Amino acid sequence: MPAPDTSSFSIDLADTAATEALGARLAGALAPGLTVFLDGDLGAGKTTLVRGVLRALGHAGKVKSPTFTLLESYAISSLNFPLYHFDFYRFTDPDEFIEAGLDEYFGQTGDAAGVCLVEWPDKAGGHLPSPDLRIALAVVGEARHARLSACSEGGRACLDRLLHAAEGRPGQA
């Protein structure tokens, strides 16, 4: 049997809990150095998904939207790499990315390289490296839809783990 095509994956998200559950699945599939772009309009559920990632990893504190701070960093005791949550919505010029010194967080390699989860990546223009994974969230009536697309070998492996873990644990969203 040919291997299933895991370069993209779509899922309906009926409510906020479903978006958080997708975040939890992503949490279990992360690896150091991955860059994930979160695309979608205002209110599409990008921060909700990141909240699901962090909660699943055992983060008990608040998950604030980095709309004003640009970056929220998380040291998670169950991970040996940091997790960075960015939101570039407020950029009026992509060069603000460089001025804020944020380029140092991207493209890290090695076992301790951070994972970057990025809301509004397009606002940084061409300053960001291409992502490993893109998650496009869309509002559909009262619900949401997500499409996950792998853009690198690392992203493909991440998507494989995400799908495989779900198969092994029926009942988990």
What does the binding site for ligand ATP look like in residue numbers (CB under 6 A)? 13, 15-16, 18-19, 40, 42-48, 65, 89, 119, 142-144
CA distance 142 to 68: 27
Q: Specify the residue, 31 or 138, whose C-beta has the smaller distance to ligand ATP.
A: 138
Binders of Mg ion in range 101-160 (CB under 5 A): 119
Q: Report d(CA 94, CA 60) in Å as an integer.
A: 33
Q: Are 102 and 129 in contact (CB under 8 A)?
A: no
**42 neighbors 60 (Cβ within 8 angstroms):** no
Residue number, 33 or 47, with CB nearest to ligand ATP: 47
Which whole-number Å values give the CA distances from 78 to 51, 55, 84, 126, in the listed order? 16, 12, 15, 33
Q: How many CA atoms lie within 13 A of 77 on its CB side?
A: 4
Q: At closest approach, how far in Å is the CB of 64 from ligand ATP?
A: 11
Site size for Mg ion (CB under 5 A): 4
| Shortest reach from residue 25's CB to ligand ATP, in Å | 14
- Tell me how far, at minimum, the Cβ of 138 lies from Mg ion, in Å: 14
Tell me how far, at minimum, the Cβ of 72 lies from ligand ATP, in Å. Answer: 12
What is the full DSSP assignment across 34-54? -EEEEE-STTSSHHHHHHHHH
Q: Which of 25, 46, 85, 123 binds Mg ion (CB under 5 A)?
A: 46
Q: Which one of residues 6, 19, 35, 47 is an interface residue with Mg ion (CB under 5 A)?
A: 47
- Minimum CB–partner distance for residue 144 and ligand ATP (Å): 4
Interacting residues with Mg ion (CB under 5 A): 46-47, 65, 119
